[in-house]
Amino acid sequence: MRKTFGDFVAVDDVAFRLEVGGSLAVVGESGSGKTTTARMIAGLEQPTAGSIAVAGKERGPGRPRGAGRRARAREIQMVFQDPYSSLDRRQRVRDAVAEAVRLHRPLRGPALAARVDELLDLVGVDERQAGSLPRALSGGQRQRVAIARALAAEPQVLILDEAVAALDVSIQAQILNLLAHIRTTTGTTLLFITHDLGVVPHICDEVLVMRSGQVVESGPVPSVLREPQHDYTRRLVASVPKPGWKPRRRAQPPAA
């Protein structure tokens, strides 16, 4: 795939294969092209050159409308970093998830309610939270709701674009465990976009490292993290805090 914006090359000759039910991390610093790559796969951006195939079927040019757009949504869903901006602030959680279910499945009445309950239970949203507005939820709870809405389409691929970056460490761990559970339970393929190599081993089997719009290294997570071949990857690995690491404090001026 290749993506240009005028004279600027955002993504250049990026190619990879993601196995059904697999999990791939795309890592790199801000501006490396990882989010643009994800948006092209999700259909939110069109590649300038190259092609994208899902389940062996090459995707045609342009953005589909109507039934074609819904069909694409059932192939791939995307969860963003800020769940608050992706949720209707006037809509209670249960209604938001029900709306997503109705968009993709012809369910009404008890069948719809049962499917909504199933999704909320899968992501760990309880009955009280289900009746709340987004502003009454924590960041982690909102992200769980965003994931439930994405899963309402029963997608083959779930793209997570920095989906835990804005959460504190303990909540990050909960969401990562949730995603691992979803992958195991539903067989959904995960594409995990992150700048943080530290979270990659918790959820992904394969990793692809990007810099300046290009892939500089890829392979199984254990081998890439233990024996990185590219200097950029080595710097990323070295930046991950190790057990026992303590932040260096600024030296205090001598007492007067």
Q: pLDDT tens, 113-136? A: 999 999 999 999 999 999 999 999
CATH number, domain 3-51+69-239, options 3.40.30.10, 3.40.50.2300, 3.40.50.300, 3.40.50.1000: 3.40.50.300
Q: Among all chains, which residue has been given the structure tokens 């979803």?
A: 182
Q: pLDDT tens, 200-236? A: 999 999 999 999 999 999 999 999 999 999 999 999 9
Predicted local confidence at residue 239, as pLDDT: 84
- Give one DSSP letter per residue of 27-83, joined into a string: E-STTSSHHHHHHHHHTSS--SBS--EETTEEPPSS---THHHHHHHHHEEEE-S-H
Helices 67-75 and 93-104 cross at an angle (nearest 10°) of 110
Dihedral angle sign, alpha carbons of residues 237, 238, 243, 246: negative
Q: Which two tokens stand for residue 146?
A: 């965003």
Q: pLDDT tens, 24-63? A: 999 999 889 999 999 999 888 888 888 888 877 787 666 7
* Mean pLDDT confidence for 86-107: 93
Predicted local confidence at residue 4, as pLDDT: 85
Domain residue spans of the chain: 3-51+69-239
Q: Are 144 and 125 in contact (CB under 8 A)?
A: yes
Half-sphere exposure of 59 (CA within 13 A, CB side): 27
Model confidence at 253, in pLDDT bands (50, 70, 90)? low
Q: pLDDT tens, 53-82? A: 887 778 766 676 767 777 777 889 999 988
80 vs 243, residue with greater confidence: 80
Adjacent-strand bridge partners of 49:
2
Q: Which two tokens stand for residue 192?
A: 């995990």
Predicted local confidence at residue 147, as pLDDT: 95
Core vs surface per residue 182-208: b (16+ CB within 10 A) or e: bbeeeebbbbbbbeebbbbebbbbbbb
